[in-house]
Every structure is written in structure tokens, then in C-alpha cells.
Copies of this chain bind each other. A is one copy, B any other.
Amino acid sequence: MLTDQQILRIPGPTPIPPSAERAMSQPMTGHRGKNTSELISRIRPGLKRVFGTQQEVMILTGSGTAGLEMAVVNTVAPGEEVLVIVTGAFGDRFAKICKAYGIETHIFEEEWGKAADPVEVQRYLQEHPEITVVFSTFCETSTGVLNPIKQLASAVKEVSDALIIVDGVSCVAGTETEMDAWGVDIVVTGSQKAFMLPPGLAFIAASKRAWKKIEANPQPRFYLDLKKHLDNIVKDTTPFTPAISILYGLERVLELFEEEGLEKVYTRHRLMMKMTRAAFKAWEIPLLANDEDASPTVTAVKPADFEAEEFRKVMKEEFALELAGGQQHLAKEIFRIGHMGYCSPADMLQAIAAMEIGLVKVGKKVEVGKGIQAAQQVYLNEGKVLA
């Protein structure tokens, strides 16, 4: 087969736009020089638009998990009690970070593959008024579920003053995020998902309410000290050496978002989700999440009559097309398709037509053409929304 081709359809990292690749390959520059501060000044407004906030969006050099830990150590004071909404492996990660700091951590766990119910979360908070911070994932990457953050934030606010902290790693920039309007206190995301960049940067913003708590919080921190980052970003710099190449890529990606239009970016992601789901429905292969809970950026599939791992292997061998497996107890039970970032409806036509062949190869009885046809029909019915 054609070597040197990789069709990356995992839920991040995603392929990188050629112009972002080019931007990242420009000569290295000093991180305390004018070049870098001008670069950061150009980046700041675009990041705010993606987050839907008037607040500063800080740029942390680290992976998404560093961003999650940053959210924890800056907001939770020793002795406080927090609630973590767990709908999958990344909700679980929030809980693990809290526990690592000895924080008394309430877990509100939903069956993996379902979104958290704001009413039930609200009830839990009413029963536990001592909770000061609520953590939730936005898109749960491990299950392809999009938690209803707007409704969750609203439900929390009705009964509690707890801060609302959101892990938006695998969906911010791929789905509407209105941090200010929804009353979310902290949003964290990373560079390698819908931002279509290499891993290496995390982005994090805090509400005015959060900043009060952060500034009063005695929890020790240094590299992850949000206030240090805030004091620097307003001066177009970072407290510690940033991943400069990725910053150049970020500038370009933010331009691409503007060129396409952020609303269209979100619509494109939703269309790719619908195409993917339509195909699996046509093949009568169970999707892990139902339509209401489905994420526009990643789809998890739970096959009943073939091996997920075998299917992934075939896709890699036949088409160099990489799909993700499951995590934790869903490992080997599911596979996941990323449709985010640098990914178009044409790319999903490719992935779906190829997966249909892969299904035949693993012995799944499918009528060849039926799944891709369903996806094509979704595009024909709804593709004009991208125009």
C-alpha cells in the first residue's frame, strides 16, 4: 500500500492544517523578545472569542492534564469539598487530581456513554451544601458524550455558589462555548483537539468570581499559578518559556477559524457527527451515546458482533486509517472516531466508505454502500449549512 500516508481519525491529535505547519516551521525566536510578545498580542483576542469570554485566556505550556491540574490547585483551598461529575475517563481524571491533593471529593458518576443530568446534579448539591467547586467534562472524549454544560451551570447556580469548572479539552473550538453567558467559572482546553495543533499547549480562562477565589487560595503552586499567568498575559508574555512554535501555529489556526467563521466551524463539526452516526445506524451497529448526548467531535461505537480491536487493526492495515480504542473498562469494548479539528465532510466520506470495507473484512454482515449512502444523504440534506 501507499506508504507515508496516515489518515488520523482519532479524537485528537488531529491532522494539522498545512498553513499551520508552515507557520510552526518558521525560525525560532526568543521568548522574551518583541516577536513573541507581538505574537501573543495577536493571539489573545481570538482565544477569547473561542472561549466566549471577556476574560483573559491564559496559555500554559503543558498538556490538557496540566490545565486540569491548574484548575484544581488554583481554585480549591485545603479543607474544601468538591464535586466531580464523572461520565467517563476524563471526569475520572479530574477526580484523581483532586484526590492527589487530598481534597475531599464527591463523585457524581453517570453510566459511561450517557450525559450528566442537570436535575440530578442539582439535587446532589442541595444535599451537599458544603461543596464549593463543581468539576465537569464538556465533551467526554472516552465516550463521545457532550455534557450539557449550559444547563448544568444554570442548575448549579440555582442552588449553590460553587464554582463551575469545565474540562473542554476535546470540544472547545469544535462546539459552541459561551463561558461568560453560561456562567462557567473556568474552562480548560488543549491545543491538539479541535484547535488542530500539536499537543503542548493548554488554554485556561477564569471568571471574575473565580479570580476572587484564586487570589485568596493558599494552596501552594508555582508553574501552575494562574495569577502569575494572568499578570504576564496582560503584558503579552508568559511567566515561563512557552512552546513558541505552537504559538505560531495557534495564530494561524485562529485566523483559519475567522476565515471559516466560528459558527460554521461548529456547524461543520455537527454535520460530520451526523454523517458518522447515520452510517452506523444504517449498518445497525450500536453507538455508545444516544443522539441527544452525542458530541460533535468524537463518536464512540460499541459493536455487538465483531471485535473493536480487530476492526481498528484492519482499518490501519488496509487504509492507514487510525481509529481510537476504548479506555478503562470500555477498552476493547468500543472504538472511537474523531471528527474534529482539521477534518472535513469529505474526510468523513473517506473514513466512512473505508470503514464500510473494513466492516466487511472483519466479517460484519453489512450491505456495501448502505452506510456511506446514509452519510452522503445527510450531506445532501444538510450540507448547505456550510455554504
Q: Which residues of A contact B (CB under 8 A)?
A: 1-5, 7, 17-20, 25, 256, 259-260, 264, 268, 317-321, 342-347, 349-350, 352-354, 356-357, 360-361, 368-370, 372-373, 375-377, 379-380, 383, 386-387
Residues of B within 8 A of A349 (CB): 349-350, 353-354, 357
* Contact A19–B4 (Cβ < 8 Å): yes
* Contact B376–A356 (Cβ < 8 Å): yes
Residues of B within 8 A of A18 (CB): 4
Apart from the given pairs A369-B370, A372-B373, 13 other A-B contacts in the complex at a CB distance below 8 Å:
A1-B268, A3-B256, A4-B19, A4-B20, A5-B342, A25-B25, A318-B383, A319-B344, A320-B344, A349-B350, A349-B357, A357-B379, A369-B369
A180 and B20 CA atoms in complex are apart in Å by 46
CB-defined A-B contacts under 8 Å, sample of 14: A3-B17, A4-B256, A4-B342, A7-B346, A319-B345, A319-B346, A320-B346, A350-B350, A353-B375, A361-B380, A368-B377, A368-B380, A369-B372, A372-B376
Known: A1-B268, A5-B342, A18-B4. A357 touches B372 (CB 8 A): no
A345 and B379 CA atoms in complex are apart in Å by 22
Residues of B within 8 A of A372 (CB): 353, 369, 372-373, 376
Residues of B within 8 A of A375 (CB): 353
Residues of B within 8 A of A317 (CB): 387
* Contact A373–B383 (Cβ < 8 Å): no
Which interface residue of A260, A360, A361, A372 has the most chain B CB atoms within 10 A? Answer: A372
* Contact A260–B376 (Cβ < 8 Å): no
A337 and B266 CA atoms in complex are apart in Å by 31
Q: Choose one: B264, B321, B354, B368; the contact of A1 (CB below 8 Å).
A: B264
Q: Which of chain B's residues has its CB closest to A258's CB?
A: B3
Q: Choose one: B5, B376, B386; the contact of A369 (CB below 8 Å).
A: B376
